[in-house]
Amino acid sequence: MMYIIGLGHTLKDLSLNALDALKNSNEVYLESYTSLSNFKIAELESLISKKVQILNRKGVEEEKSFLKENTSLLVYGDPLSATTHLEILQEAEKKNIKVEIIHAPSIMTTIAETGLQLYKFGKTASIPFWTESYKPESFFDYLEQNQSIDAHTLCLLDLDPENESFLSISDAISRILEISKSRKSNISEKTKFIGCSRLGMKDALISYGNQAELSKINFGKAPFCLILPGKLNFIEDDIIAKY
């Protein structure tokens, strides 16, 4: 049996099922490139009394040395939130390796802490880093599609765990407004967003406001996410007004 295990937001999110699987595995791997760790690897190793091998993007998507029996692959958040992890299931099936999924909290559900109702979210957008020669705008299509049906949009902000760099909430809003201006969209400097940092953790921060208001907020350490609300009902409006 191979296990794909969600780490959740913190080590304390590991379930009893997860701890049993980790302690019974011959090898334990950690996929390290889809999120920033909020704990030291030594803490995890001490918890499970086992060495944890770190995998970068190439190790997960190309080399796949972890695909074998009696192995656990740890993933930040929930195991199946990213397309890459679904592809691992397909590869395991080809090798006749049975896989057990052990779920954990993820940003896809923790965003309910903002007061927005989960069933009213549309497509999730990922906002990437920009360079002078590379400024993709495809994520903005999702914002427009969701706005057209009054749905909320969760924006996942790009990060580089190896260099501990990340796209800030302020920069993400600037990207959105720059594209909106060129496309003559109705998203403007007056549009209100919900900026979030470290959701699911004890020091989570949620703030609601327009670009000028959110740019004054110190959101602290990543991970960050940004939400463009769609049409609010009276319950949602009452809750987010407190932020």
Q: Give yes or no for a cis peptide into 223 (omega within 30° of 0).
A: yes
4-56 confidence digits (pLDDT tens): 999 999 899 999 999 999 999 999 999 877 666 667 889 999 999 999 998 88
CATH of the domain at 50: 3.40.1010.10
Sequence-ordered list of residues with C-beta below 8 angstroms from that of 33, at least 6 positions apart, any chain: 55, 56, 57, 60, 161, 162
Domain of residue 120, residue span: 108-240
Residue with tokens 């987010």: 240
pLDDT at 39: 76
Q: Which amino acid is at 203?
A: D
132 and 49, same structural domain?
Answer: no
pLDDT at 165: 79
Confidence of residue 63 (pLDDT cuts 50, 70, 90): confident
Confidence of residue 87 (pLDDT cuts 50, 70, 90): confident
37 and 129, same structural domain?
Answer: no
* Global pTM exceeds 0.75: yes
| Residue that finishes a domain, picked among 105, 122, 153 | 105
Q: In this structure, are residues 5 and 28 in contact, taking their beta carbons and an 8 Å threshold?
A: no
100 and 160, same structural domain?
Answer: no
Q: In angstroms, rounded to a whole number, what is the distance separating the alpha carbons of residues 40 and 202?
A: 17
pLDDT at 61: 74
- If you average pLDDT over residues 221-228, what whole number do you get? 94
Residue with tokens 């995998």: 55
Q: In this structure, are residues 195 and 217 in contact, taking their beta carbons and an 8 Å threshold?
A: yes
101 and 177, same structural domain?
Answer: no
126 and 210, same structural domain?
Answer: yes
CATH of the domain at 188: 3.30.950.10
107-157 confidence digits (pLDDT tens): 999 999 999 999 999 999 999 999 888 899 999 999 999 999 999 999 999
113 and 98, same structural domain?
Answer: no
Domain count, the chain: 2
User: How many Cβ atoms from other residues are within 10 Å of residue 237's Cβ?
Assistant: 12
- If you average pLDDT over residues 60-71, what whole number do you get? 84
131 and 73, same structural domain?
Answer: no
Question: How does the average pLDDT of the chain come out, rounded?
Answer: 91
84 and 69, same structural domain?
Answer: yes
| Residue that finishes a domain, picked among 82, 105, 128 | 105
92 and 171, same structural domain?
Answer: no
Residues of the chain by 3-state class (helix, strand, coil), percent to 5: 35, 20, 40
| Residue that finishes a domain, picked among 56, 83, 105 | 105
Confidence of residue 161 (pLDDT cuts 50, 70, 90): low
185 and 72, same structural domain?
Answer: no
Pure H helices in the chain: 16-23, 41-48, 57-58, 83-94, 107-110, 138-148, 169-183, 211-214, 234-240
225 and 120, same structural domain?
Answer: yes
